[in-house]
Structure 1
């Protein structure tokens, strides 16, 4: 059996839909004019397809969103720059971000709900501190420091068979002892004005089924 990888890009207006399947671009729909297109993937604990989609960011507090990236724009240097995702992470799924700067303080991770903009309500969080060190925090509790990070590093909070794992550049550096209640959403808090969380991605396994909605611009 050959498994496939699907990548959905959240371009709000497209003249045609292309899906990446196993490294091949397959055009499955063509339009005569630009249209709004959204795809909702059917998630599965065990599936032969893995999907990645740019996070759609909501519940913005003292933050602005450009595509699937966040920037803190107000509220001073406090833990009051919040955001969440519309899409959820299921078992064997993850949230991912790519680091831009190393001189701001921010957290990103997974929670059952987006309670508020503070880091203490993120149930499973990676803390990127403004001195270049990174930590794990769970519901406000410090689980330790795990070294330094650099621009371009990729961090993930991933659920694997009912356990939450934390990864830097594909390498696990901490496994949580707190069992999650699934599904989980992306939950973020930025402290530093001007601080960013970039290229936020939601990924899940799927049975290959998805539904689409096409509407006029």
Structure 2
């Protein structure tokens, strides 16, 4: 079970630190998604991100304190040089497109290829169709995006940073999946040493994502940084 933490970091002990990266074309709303999640803010006059920035938010997942370190970079080609450092250590990724701009969705395979060539092969990825508040201008159908996500084994949700729709759910989907994978790995390690407890509180719990735009990929093992 996951629950949202306060906006800003609490002073409690941190059990895990998970780095999640936001990628996608410029102006799809990556910075607004980050701002909504980290500070519950939205700015109508948001400027393009220059280079890289990251924000953190601490949440409680299954009674453990998890610090989400969310990295955001500009989608313009000229900032592509940041990639190797940007992806290093990332255990989760949000692949964002704008539902009103078909080109931003058509570029998703390229972003996914770049992500998979730079990041850990078992990184947890969610495809995010942002700006559902502009539904009357929709250029990418939910069905097209869902089909792509299923084919590539990605989670999928549509969001609105403006209306705060599914932003929390999208991040919790990724963070809870990472959390469950890490704890399953810990459980296997403990079992191999003869002191495991398969029925204990570290057993992975499947997250149920509300809404029709739901894709739950096959579970995979991965490596992750804990703190």
Give the TM-score of the pair, scaled to structure 2. 0.30
Give the TM-score of the pair, scaled to structure 1. 0.31
Higher-RCO chain (CA-CA 8 Å, sequence separation at least 6): 1
Question: Structure 1 or 2: larger strand share?
Answer: 1
Question: Structure 1 or 2: larger helix share?
Answer: 2
